[in-house]
Structure 1
Amino acid sequence: MTSTSSNPPLHLNWMAHTPGLESLRVDELILPGTHNSGSDKQSPNLGVLQEFAQDVPPHEQLRHGIRVLDLRVRFYSSYPEGDARRFQVFHLTSSGRTVAVDILQRTREYFAELEQDGSKAREIVILDFHQFDKFTAQAHEELQALIYTGLGSRRLPYALRGQTLAQLWNEHPGKNVVVAYNHGSASHELWPGVKQCWPGENLFNTNTLKAFVDRIGKESKRDFELKAVQCAKYSLPFHAPTDLSNKIDEWFKSVDENSYIQNFFIINTDWSLRSNIVANCRHANQIRSALKKTDPDGRLQPSRRPISSV
């Protein structure tokens, strides 16, 4: 049954309790992501219908199992350095959410909640800084410095991209946050931006979206590349994000190794917590880890599932 926005199930630490997950690398995981993660109905500044893409703030998205945040950041030079409002999350306009507080501080708080018993969290979160508006070279330097300070030792450097979750959790406990930054950087800690696959337009019918998702599912992925399918569309007359929860549950239902979801990695959706995408990703990762263990080279080689089967 599809959950409603008022009572989505809590998935605080589903990765830690998913058997077999530790055999996969970060880029091999099947992860639930939110499209336009900072444009939620509780945002301070949103006032027009087409701005809303999620029901709850990024922090609550993490608590309910989302593991990839799609972040678009606008630079406000009118605010002085050190002012949190200098870097704000936007869609068409600013949501009023800031990188410093709503993303970095709240992410720290999420992990602090997991570690109340003194243990190290066994969860991975990807912060995909994907789009930048009104930025200068200096603004990028400043934002990256803010990210380094805001996350501290939580950052999982790109140099560790080849390690499995078991290696990360055992040899680098406390490094839980991948910072994907979709802009050139001299830092060796930042991962390249997530390759977000979208159709290049927003207004189309559900069948057109499904055909696009099918095509992405047939594509290969390079080792260590973070790749997402943008499974989202807008509807007239208000050009607002469509609630595709029923279709998301139908398309990405995880049953066995032949399930459609095995063709994907990061799945970004609107109204993400209204569907069962978290539970389906969790189950699909168990199957993927089992498939990897049976590969004679120990590498993940997911076969192309019959795309027409859904």
Structure 2
Amino acid sequence: MNGNFRDRWMNNTPGIYKLRIDELILPGTHDSGADREAPKMMMPNEITQDVPIRDQINQGFRVLDLRVELFSSQPVGHPRRFQLYHLTSSGRTVAGDVLGVLNEFYAVSGRENEVIILNFHQFKDFTDESHQELHDLIDEMIGHRLIPYSQRHLTLLELRQYYPGRNVVISYNRRAGDGYWPGVEQQWTGKNYISTSELKIFMDEASSRPKSQYTLRSIQCAKYTGLFVPDDFSDKVNLWFESRDGDSYIQGFHIINTDWSTRSNIVLNCMHANQFRAMTKG
């Protein structure tokens, strides 16, 4: 696929409309808010992405791993009250760098069928009240775009027919109302530092585990080097997840989260793989 169309690859993937959201094979970014261009300086072991979320979704990534810190020193309603963090804040905000960016993305014609999952994965210094504040912010800025959990049984075609303009899933790692989906089931080794071969062995085992219907599941294809900085093994990502046919290794997965995500071919491989997965639905 021409690189200029990665921003709308789901709209242009034959057969994908037959699949439900939880059946899709989707490229995701690990620690999505920890990018090299972030406004706050972070330590090298915190930086996992080359480009900000705006560029990640423009380049085809459809699942964002969001870790949110409450800055209670900022007044309620201030855009810097909810910031993204890894170990420390990157200075990226939920309001501007996630929700505002989504509205800009969908303002471009041809992107309305791109489904994006916001996985609110971790919360730092939160209270019950601040969770509600965050819900209110989400509702105010993108509430009209949300696909409620009650519609989890619908295929992409049915969503497009019955709920046009609804294209965002909120996956929230805490009991929540507002139609949010349960947190993504993350398959992770539990270790920051392992060898590439050990990671592959773990993924082999993870890919064989049955997934419950409607569950959003991700594989954490990420690790640190011996210097405890996020490792770039894009060559292995390209090799492991190359989509050739309906029996390719990538067919064992759903959401694939990586570091340095834009360096690999994972978006194109997911696009290709979804065509074969859709064939299994007739």
TM-score band, normalised by the shorter chain? over 0.9
> Does structure 1 residue 170 correspond to structure 2 residue 170?
no
Q: Which runs of 5+ in 1 are unaligned?
A: 1-7, 294-310
Question: What SS does structure 1 have at the residue aligned with 2:281?
Answer: helix
1:244 Cα shift?
1.4
In the aligned structure 2, how far is the partner of 1:46 from the partner of 1:144?
A: 28
Moved over 4 A (4+): none
What secondary structure sits across from 1:127 in the alignment? strand
Cα offsets for 1:41-100 (capped at 9, x unmatched): 110013321111011101110000000000000111111001111100000100000001
Pair 1:214-2:209 in alignment: no
* 1:219-298 paired onto structure 2 within 5 Å: 219-237=209-227, 239-293=228-282
Paired with 2:87 and 2:204, the residues of 1 have a C-alpha distance of: 28
Structure 2 CA distance for aligned equivalents of residues 258 and 288 of structure 1: 10
**Aligned counterparts of 1:242 and 1:120: Cα–Cα separation in 2:** 32
User: What is the DSSP-based 3-state SS (H/G/I as helix, E as strand, rest coil) of the residue aligned with 1:49?
Assistant: coil
Q: Distance in 2 between matches of 1:34 and 1:20?
A: 24
Do the aligned residues in 2 keep the contact of 1:39 with 1:46 (CA within 8 Å)?
no
Query: 1:161 — aligned with what?
Result: 152
The 5 A counterparts of 1:1-310 are 11-113=6-108, 115=109, 121-187=112-178, 189-237=179-227, 239-293=228-282
- For 2:156 and 2:41, how far apart are their aligned partners in 1? 37
Aligned partners of 1:86, 1:17: CA distance in 2, in Å?
38
1:152, distance to aligned residue in structure 2 (A): 2.6
Alpha-carbon distance in structure 2 between the residues aligned to 1:139 and 1:200: 28
Deviation at 1:132, TM superposition (A): 0.5
CA contact 2:7–2:111 (8 Å) conserved in 1: no
Aligned length: 280
The residue identity in structure 1 corresponding to 2:261 is S
Cα shift at 1:120: 7.0
Name structure 2 gaps, 5 residues minimum. Answer: none
TM-score by length of 1: 0.88
Q: Is the CA contact 2:10–2:16 (under 8 Å) kept in the aligned structure 1? A: yes
Aligned-pair identity (%): 49
What displacement does 1:186 show?
Answer: 3.0
* Residue of structure 2 in register with 1:307 after alignment: none
Change (3 A) 1:10 1:93: farther
CA distance in 2, matches of 1:242, 1:147: 33
Name the SS for the 1:60 alignment partner: helix
For 1:110 and 1:134, locate their aligned partners in 2 and report how far apart those are by CA, in whole Å.
30
Displacement after TM superposition at 1:215 (Å): 1.1
Q: What is the CA distance between 1:249 and its match in structure 2?
A: 0.4
Cα displacement string for residues 4-46 of structure 1 (whole angstroms, at most 9, x for unaligned residues): xxxx765110000000000000000000000000000110013
CA gap 1:262/1:232 in 2 versus in 1, 3 angstroms: same
Q: Distance in 1 between matches of 2:107 and 2:46?
A: 30
User: In structure 2, how many angstroms separate the alpha carbons of the residues matched to 1:262 and 1:104?
Assistant: 31
Distance in 1 (CA, whole Å) between partners of 2:127 and 2:42 is 28
CA distance in 1, matches of 2:36, 2:240: 26
The root-mean-square deviation of aligned C-alpha atoms, in Å, is 1.1
